[in-house]
Amino acid sequence: MALIEAASPHTMNTYGRLPIALSHGQGVRVWDVNGKEYLDALAGIAVNTLGHNHPKLVPALQDQIGKIIHSCNYYHVPNQERLAATLAELSGLTNAFFCSTGLEANEAAIKLARKYGHDKGIERPEIVVYENAFHGRSIATLSATGNEKVQQGFGPLVEGFIRVPLNDMAALKAATEGRDAIVAVFLETIQGEGGINPMRVDYLQQVRQLCDQRDWLLMIDEVQCGMGRTGKWFAHQWAGIKPDVMPLAKGLGSGVPVGAVVAGPKAANIFQPGNHGTTFGGNPLAMRAGVETIRIMQEDGLLENAAGVGAHLKGALERDLGGLRGVTEIRGQGLMLGIELARNCTALTTRAAEAGLLISVTADNVIRLLPPLVLNRGEADEIVALLVPLVKDFLAS
């Protein structure tokens, strides 16, 4: 039996980890090194789209590893072109740049916005960002992030961000009134780390219109809410709009690190040779993972599954927890759901894990469910059966 130490002496102290090490998984179930089984309602934070050990993904990745893992961007990578074409088709956009993580995709988006401004003669471009946003932990992306805890200790922050509240058109207009240096609005369709906070459909449509009127880029961070999680390929598609720039990562490679920034006509040609690059981004293994993840999602109807099973899961949570004192709201779409409690409930992650359920708590008081998109109704019912008594006990304590 392996013993999991509470503290790790040689890795940097960046995470308050649970005393669990996962050893393997199958579908939506994982097992730790001691053989304990868990239902995975977190998917490695919205990453394991296809669950664990998927019978179609694993042989494809094994095949790729046996051929070539990495080449580098000095050469063509055929699956880059294939994945870019697929993402263009699914999004209605045109061109992609590949990287490895969400923050890198957002960093690329911020660079695109700034260069878009510089190309128009704007020397100090400004980007509108949102309260409670999360865009990553590089210096630029943490500056765009709307969470002081993430920023503390890392000043001076990158300048050029203007922050506004969610879903408030008047506030957006007031904050941008008379500012000629604005080049972009940067938002998450559903804020993930910020507490599962959706932008309203009418608000998204109005922001699209405003960006068109003012010649700003609309940049939609779909790193967490994209890739089928809400039941459409990209969550903003529920509003019938298209962004100019769309960062992706997390679920795109179903566990293999893959990030992308996808751009429409207004932003597709901003970068020229020498403006941006990466060693790992777009490598053959990552691209095969992206191509196969999307192929399998299409073959197995995982968008419909996310929408249907997500609605079933949300309905069951509303039925069992909706009216309870201490439950503020149940929100989200598809398999991106949040249960907001009236007080800090971070203790629930440990209690859930003890009960055999992997979840997270974000923004201190929102229980977050991001299961693999292969979840079925029976497994959704199991999540409810494990979670509801824990929440009731917690509220009673």
Ligand X SMILES: Cc1ncc(COP(=O)(O)O)c(C=O)c1O
Binding site for ligand X (CB under 6 A): 101-103, 106, 134-136, 188, 192-193, 221, 223-224, 249
Q: Measuring CA to CA, which residue among 196, 214, 221, 203 is closest to residue 144? A: 221
49 vs 106, beta carbon nearer ligand X: 106
366 vs 391, beta carbon nearer ligand X: 366
Kindly state the smallest distance separating residue 261's Cβ from ligand X, in Å. Answer: 11
Kindly state the smallest distance separating residue 241's Cβ from ligand X, in Å. Answer: 18
Kindly state the smallest distance separating residue 291's Cβ from ligand X, in Å. Answer: 20
Work out the number of other CB atoms within 10 angstroms of the CB of residue 124.
Answer: 10
What is the rounded distance in angstroms from the CA atom of residue 55 to the CA atom of residue 286? 18
223 vs 285, beta carbon nearer ligand X: 223
Residue 357 zone, left/alpha/beta (φ > 0; ψ -120 to 50; rest): beta
Kindly state the smallest distance separating residue 46's Cβ from ligand X, in Å. Answer: 7
215 is written with which tokens?
């010649």
Q: Measuring CA to CA, which residue among 269, 250, 205 is closest to residue 106? A: 250
Kindly state the smallest distance separating residue 167's Cβ from ligand X, in Å. Answer: 17
Residue 43 zone, left/alpha/beta (φ > 0; ψ -120 to 50; rest): left
**Cα dihedral 305/313/189/103 (nearest 10):** -80
102 vs 372, beta carbon nearer ligand X: 102
Give 271-279 contacts, CB < 8 A, sequence gap 24+: 271/97, 271/111, 271/112, 271/115, 275/111, 275/115, 276/97, 276/108, 276/111, 277/73, 278/73, 278/98, 278/99, 278/100, 278/104, 279/72, 279/73
H helix or E strand, kind and range, residue 163: strand 161-164
What is the rounded distance in angstroms from the CA atom of residue 151 to the CA atom of residue 19? 27
**Residues in Cβ contact with 178 at an 8 Å cutoff, skipping those fewer than 6 apart:** none
Kindly state the smallest distance separating residue 105's Cβ from ligand X, in Å. Answer: 7
274 is written with which tokens?
């020498």
Kindly state the smallest distance separating residue 272's Cβ from ligand X, in Å. Answer: 25
Sheet of 95-99, strand order: 95-99, 259-263, 245-248, 217-221, 182-188, 126-130, 161-164
52 vs 250, beta carbon nearer ligand X: 250
Work out the number of other CB atoms within 10 angstroms of the CB of residue 343.
Answer: 10
Assess contact for 117 and 125: CB atoms under 8 A: yes
Look at residue 23 and give its three-state secondary structure: strand
327 vs 349, beta carbon nearer ligand X: 349
Kindly state the smallest distance separating residue 207's Cβ from ligand X, in Å. Answer: 17
91 vs 106, beta carbon nearer ligand X: 106
Q: How many helices (H) and strands (E) would you count in the chain?
A: 12, 17
Closest-by-Cβ residue to ligand X is 102
Kindly state the smallest distance separating residue 215's Cβ from ligand X, in Å. Answer: 25
370 vs 390, beta carbon nearer ligand X: 370
Kindly state the smallest distance separating residue 247's Cβ from ligand X, in Å. Answer: 7
125 vs 257, beta carbon nearer ligand X: 257
223 vs 268, beta carbon nearer ligand X: 223
